């Protein structure tokens, strides 16, 4: 199950648990960094690797749930909660806020492995999607203002002739812009360009989304 | 008859008139007026009151100067118009008096208001007698009147003040009573009559003790009789039955009033309705009992949660380490060194969970201490002997201030020793990182009326929360279990004492526990 470069962050205030769980995860081939409190975790500068955060519900400074809430506003690894007692309201709250899993101590090995895998997989996917978006934004930034106008009109469903009329330019000029756009955005087809525009949140100025 | 010569004053002819006696024509002539008579005239005019005569029909005949000075009228005016100077309300009084006197023949006295020259009415007392003929017919009235205004006012003021006092006594929200030296009721305010439903006329027959709740009556009566016999203040609390049969709680206080020789003249007392307060106290007491029960239950629940958590953490570590151990052992080339390390951790964490269980056993075992008479000072000395090593090792100083002849308490020697050892060791440990002042440990014993008090003080950095430290599993120490102070408190409380802490950053922490003095 070993995957390269993924990190497990473990936050638990009990040194015995920290030590043992870290040992367990290490024996499963994962790389683990442990923290005794939320503050310690927040102070740590994480590497860019795919990761998962195992968070004890009861921490000495702020509760695991509060930390989860705080992390929701920034890019952060997926969270697996661990708790001494299966407290239903807390687990419901944690899951609703997007936690991968809520495990009770002592932690079941299979459940732990499954949760970590799920968390890391989701993190990878999110990272990939973020990376793709960043790439698209990079390409989009290469477009001239006129090309951006053209892009928004054509993906909005206007024919070349109509779009040219809207902008008050010749149809042939418009076609020229359009091929420039396809090239700069590295689009395989017009359908691909429409998808890209959607991800970038570009809409036809006349159509309200 | 001297009085019959009174016609000399202010008659029509000013100096002298002829006065007819008995209508018989007997005359006193002018020449009969002597120096004596002039003197008499002066006397009458100077007389500090009104002197006057009237005809049988009540019309004024003559008067002395006082009347004229007072009313500001001439005699002629007075004669024609005397009714105008008598208060209209009192004219009838005068007439009735004359009428009565005419018939009875007795001198009559009356009070009426007479108008002064400036229009102000003042009260006068009048006394009149009649001069009669042989048939008893009135020939003439002889009267004197004197100013009683001041007296009247004083009387009025007195009546008013009496009324006010009575009003106060009847209005104050308490039953007010006065009793004779023998203890029987002499006077009560209206509230007493209203509460017990006794008509005022039956007060003499009223026996208050009959209206005391049967359960309280005996004690109430005995207490009152004892106070009366001893002539000492009386105080009691009992239930009185009201007129409508309801019992309410009252507090009764009586105080004897004595004469100069110290003899009791009467008893003054108030009986105050304290039923509402009593009910409230009762409610409060039962709420407190419920609360303490709830607190106990909450503590047990909290304690079990804390215990469960503590043991579970250890077990979680054991299980996770177990998983890891299995992984390491089942790999192609087992890392035996690592496996041994993990096995040791499993043993360590398993033992620490077992230790929690052992300490909890100790905590609950303390519910039945073996109590023997105990000299707390001796226990302190013993603990200090036992702790000598630790004190020296941590280079602390111990200062003791033990009260001599401290009374004994009834306590379990081992347990109290445990408490003191725990507090002393805590104190020493709290000063481990103190470097800028002496690590002074101060132990003091003293007593108050009912308790032996022991104070163990350190000069460490103090605590953040002086109450939280007594919670199970709360610890400020690196290797602490957080059970020590919880156990200490439960021991002290099992001995009906209290353990508390006061703390400050500058002054360190003082732990203070009490143990009841053996009665």
Q: Any idea what the CATH number is for the domain that residue A174 is in?
A: 1.10.10.10
Q: Are B489 and B424 in contact (CB under 8 A)?
A: no
* Pair A149, A122 in one domain: no
The model's confidence at residue B30, banded by pLDDT at 50, 70 and 90, is low
d(CA B354, CA B309): 13
Minimal Cα–Cα distance from A81 to chain B, Å?
14
Given pLDDT bands bounded at 50, 70 and 90, which one contains residue B3?
A: very low
Q: What is the mean pLDDT of chain B?
A: 82
In this prediction, residue B293 carries a pLDDT of 58
- Asked if A24 lies within 8 A of B308 by C-beta distance, the reply is no
- Which pLDDT value is given to residue B354? 85
Last residue within a domain, chosen from A73, A105, A129: A129
Give the whole-angstrom CA distance, residue A161 versus residue A168: 10
ipTM of predicted complex? 0.71
Return the sign of the alpha-carbon dihedral for residues A178, A181, A183, A187: negative
Given an 8 Å threshold on Cβ–Cβ distance, is B313 in contact with A24? Answer: no
Among B242, B271, B241, B259, which residue's Cα sits nearest to residue B178? B271
Q: Give tens-digit pLDDT for B58-80.
A: 888 888 988 988 999 998 888 88
**CB A14 to CB B342 under 8 A?**
no
Residues A29 and A75 in one domain: yes
Cβ count within 10 A of residue A203: 14
Give domain status of residue A194, yes or no.
yes
CA dihedral B106, B107, B111, B114 (to 10 degrees): 130
For residue B441, give the H/E element and its range: strand B440-447
Mutation test of the interface with chain A: which of B310, B323, B332, B477, choosing the one with the most A Cβ atoms within 10 A? B323
Which of chain A's residues have a Cβ under 8 Å away from the Cβ of B320?
17, 20-21, 23-24, 106-107
pLDDT in tens, B281-309: 888 777 776 665 555 555 566 667 777 88
CB contact under 8 A, B324 and A27: yes
Which residues in chain A have their CB less than 8 angstroms from residue B319's CB?
Answer: 20, 106-107
CATH code of A63's domain: 3.40.50.2300
My answer on whether omega of the bond before A203 falls inside 30° of 0, hence cis, is no
Q: How many helices (H) and strands (E) does chain A have?
A: 9, 5
Give the three-state DSSP class for A72.
Answer: coil
Of B88, B107, B85, nearest in space to B97 by CA: B107
B470 against B501, higher pLDDT: B501
Domain boundary among A129, A153, A183: A129
Same domain for A117 and A162, yes or no, is: no
Q: Is B466 helix (H, G, I), strand (E, B) or coil?
A: coil
| Chain B residues with beta carbon closer than 8 angstroms to that of A116 | none
Q: Which residue of B has its CA nearest to A12?
A: B313
- DSSP-assigned beta bridge partners for residue B452: B447, B515
Q: Counting beta carbons within 10 angstroms of the beta carbon of residue B513, is it exposed (0 to 12), middle (13 to 18) or buried (19 or more)?
A: buried
Could you tell me if A105 and A156 lie in one domain?
no
Spell out, as residue ranges, where chain A has pLDDT lower than 70: 1-4, 86, 203-209
CA dist list (Å): B443 to B232, B446, B455, B493, B507:
48, 10, 6, 20, 15
Residues of A within 8 A of B324 (CB-CB) are 20, 23-24, 26-27
Which stretch of A163-177, B105-119, B473-487 has the lowest confidence by average pLDDT? B473-487
Q: Does residue A123 sit in the same domain as residue A161?
A: no
CA distance A10 to chain B (A): 13
Give the span between the Cα atoms of A153 and A163, in whole angstroms: 6
* Residue A28 to chain B, least CA–CA distance (Å): 7
Residue A160 lies inside a defined structural domain of this protein = yes
- Residue A205 covered by a domain: no
Stretch B465-490: mean pLDDT, rounded? 71
Best residue in B324, B338, B346 to probe A by mutation, most A CBs within 10 Å?
B324
Q: What is the pTM of this model?
A: 0.43
Whether B381 and B418 have beta carbons less than 8 Å apart is answered as no
| Percentage of residues of chain B with pLDDT beyond 70 | 86
Minimal CA separation from A88 to chain B, in Å: 16
Residue A48 and residue A104 in one domain: yes
pLDDT digits (tens, 9 = 90+) for B245-271: 899 999 999 999 998 888 889 999 999
Residue A137 belongs to some domain of the structure: no
Chain A nearest-CA distance from B286, in A, is 34
Residue contact B309–A16, C-beta within 8 A: no
Q: Which residues in chain B have their CB less than 8 angstroms from residue A10's CB?
A: none
Average confidence (pLDDT) over B3-30: 43
pLDDT at B486 over 90: no
A120 plus A182 within the same structural domain: no
Q: Are A86 and A152 found together in one domain?
A: no
Domain contains A151: yes
Q: Is residue B471 predicted with pLDDT exceeding 80?
A: no
Give the closest-approach CA distance of B469 to chain A in angstroms. Answer: 16
Quick check: B1 pLDDT over 50?
no
- pLDDT of B478 strictly over 60: no
Q: Is residue A1 part of a domain?
A: no
Residue B185: its pLDDT value, please? Answer: 86
- Residue B111's SS3 state is strand
Distance CA A76, CA B291 (A): 47
Minimum distance, in Å, between the CA of residue B503 and any CA atom of chain A = 23
Burial of B264 (0-12, 13-18, 19+ CB in 10 A): middle
Whether A207 is in a domain gets the answer no
Is the pLDDT confidence value at B8 over 50? no
Judgement on whether residues A64 and A34 belong to the same structural domain of the protein: yes
Q: Based on the domain organization, do A120 and A23 belong to the same domain?
A: yes
Residues A147 and A74 occupy one common structural domain = no
* Containing structural domain, residue A162: 142-200
A30 within some domain: yes
Q: Alpha-carbon torsion B372, B374, B378, B383, what sign?
A: positive
In chain B, residues with a C-beta closer than 8 Å to the C-beta of A109 are 323
Q: Which domains does chain B have, with CATH numbers?
A: 2-149 (3.30.450.20), 172-273 (3.30.450.20), 278-367 (no CATH), 370-519 (3.30.565.10)
Q: Do A84 and B317 touch (CB under 8 A)?
A: no
Domain boundary (A104, A129, A154) is at A129
Number of domains comprising chain A? 2
Nearest beta carbon to residue A28 from set B314, B317, B327: B327
> Where is mean pLDDT largest: B18-32, B94-108, B189-203, B421-435?
B189-203
Q: Which of B326, B317, B309, B323 is nearest to B350 (CA)?
A: B317
Q: How many CB pairs under 8 A join A and B?
A: 67
Confidence grade of residue B208 (pLDDT, cut at 50, 70, 90) = confident
CB contact under 8 A, B318 and A28: no
Query: Which pLDDT score, from 0 to 100, does residue B480 have?
Result: 57
A186 and A105 assigned to the same domain: no
Spell out which chain B residues touch chain A, with contact meaning CB-CB distance below 8 angstroms.
Answer: 305, 308-309, 312-321, 323-325, 327-328, 342, 345, 349, 352
């Amino acid at each position: 199950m070993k995957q390269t470069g993924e990190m497990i962050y473990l936050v638990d205030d009990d040194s015995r648990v920290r030590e043992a769980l870290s040992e367990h995860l290490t024996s499963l081939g994962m790389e683990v960094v442990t923290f005794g409190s939320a503050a310690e975790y927040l102070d740590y500068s994480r590497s860019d690797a795919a990761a998962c955060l195992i968070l004890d519900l009861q921490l000495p400074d702020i509760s695991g749930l509060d930390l989860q809430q705080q992390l929701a506003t920034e890019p952060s690894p997926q969270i697996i909660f661990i708790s001494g007692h299966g407290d239903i309201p807390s687990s419901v709250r944690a899951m609703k806020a997007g936690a991968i899993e809520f495990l009770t101590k002592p932690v079941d090995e299979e459940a732990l492995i499954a949760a970590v895998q799920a968390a890391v997989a989701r993190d990878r996917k999110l990272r990939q999607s973020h990376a793709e978006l960043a790439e698209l934004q990079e390409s989009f930034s290469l477009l001239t203002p006129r090309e951006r106008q053209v892009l928004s009109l054509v993906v909005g469903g206007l024919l070349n002739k109509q779009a040219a009329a809207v902008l008050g330019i010749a149809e042939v000029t418009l076609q020229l812009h359009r091929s420039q756009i396809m090239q700069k955005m590295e689009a395989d087809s017009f359908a691909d360009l429409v998808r890209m525009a959607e991800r970038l949140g570009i809409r036809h100025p006349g159509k309200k989304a | 008859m001297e009085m019959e010569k009174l016609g000399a004053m202010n008659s029509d002819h000013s100096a002298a008139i002829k006065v007819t006696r008995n209508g018989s024509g007997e005359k006193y002539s002018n020449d009969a007026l002597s120096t004596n008579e002039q003197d008499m005239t002066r006397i009458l005019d100077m007389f500090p009151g009104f002197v006057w005569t009237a005809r049988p029909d009540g019309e004024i005949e003559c008067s002395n100067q006082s009347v004229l000075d007072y009313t500001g009228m001439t005699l002629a005016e007075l004669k024609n118009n005397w009714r105008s100077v008598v208060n209209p309300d009192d004219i009838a009084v005068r007439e009735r008096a004359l009428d009565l006197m005419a018939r009875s023949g007795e001198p009559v006295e009356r009070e009426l208001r007479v108008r002064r020259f400036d229009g102000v009415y003042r009260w006068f007392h009048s006394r009149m007698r009649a001069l009669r003929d042989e048939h008893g017919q009135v020939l003439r009235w002889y009267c004197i009147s004197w100013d009683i205004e001041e007296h009247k006012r004083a009387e009025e003021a007195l009546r008013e003040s009496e009324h006010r006092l009575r009003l106060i006594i009847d209005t104050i929200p308490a039953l007010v009573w006065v009793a004779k030296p023998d203890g029987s009721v002499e006077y009560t305010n209206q509230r007493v009559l209203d509460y017990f439903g006794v008509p005022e006329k039956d007060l003499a027959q009223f026996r208050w003790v009959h209206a005391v709740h049967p359960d309280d009556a005996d004690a109430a009566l005995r207490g009152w009789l004892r106070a009366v016999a001893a002539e000492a203040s009386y105080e009691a609390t009992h239930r009185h039955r009201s007129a409508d049969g309801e019992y309410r709680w009252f507090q009764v206080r009586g105080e004897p009033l004595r004469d100069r020789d110290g003899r009791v003249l009467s008893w003054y007392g108030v009986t105050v309705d304290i039923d509402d307060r009593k009910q409230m106290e009762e409610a409060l007491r039962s709420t407190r009992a419920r609360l303490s029960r709830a607190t106990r239950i909450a503590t047990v629940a909290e304690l079990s949660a804390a215990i469960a958590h503590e043991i579970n953490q250890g077990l979680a570590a054991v299980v996770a380490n177990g998983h890891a151990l299995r992984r390491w052992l089942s790999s192609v080339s087992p890392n035996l060194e690592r496996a041994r390390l993990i096995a040791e951790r499993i043993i360590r964490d398993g033992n620490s969970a077992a230790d929690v269980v052992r300490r909890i056993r100790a905590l609950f075992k303390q519910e039945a201490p073996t109590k023997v008479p105990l000299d707390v000072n001796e226990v302190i000395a013993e603990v200090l002997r036992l702790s000598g090593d630790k004190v020296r090792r941590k280079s602390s100083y111990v200062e003791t201030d033990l009260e001599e002849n401290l009374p004994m308490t009834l306590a379990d020697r081992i347990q109290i020793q445990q408490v003191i050892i725990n507090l002393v060791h805590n104190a020493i440990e709290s000063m481990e990182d103190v470097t800028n002042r002496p690590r002074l440990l101060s132990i003091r014993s003293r007593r108050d009326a009912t308790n032996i008090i022991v104070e163990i003080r350190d000069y460490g950095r103090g605590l953040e929360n002086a109450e939280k430290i007594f919670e199970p599993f709360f610890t400020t120490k690196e290797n602490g279990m957080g059970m020590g102070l919880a156990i200490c408190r439960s021991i002290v409380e099992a001995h009906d004492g209290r353990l508390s802490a006061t703390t400050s950053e500058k002054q360190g922490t003082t732990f203070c526990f009490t143990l009841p003095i053996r009665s």
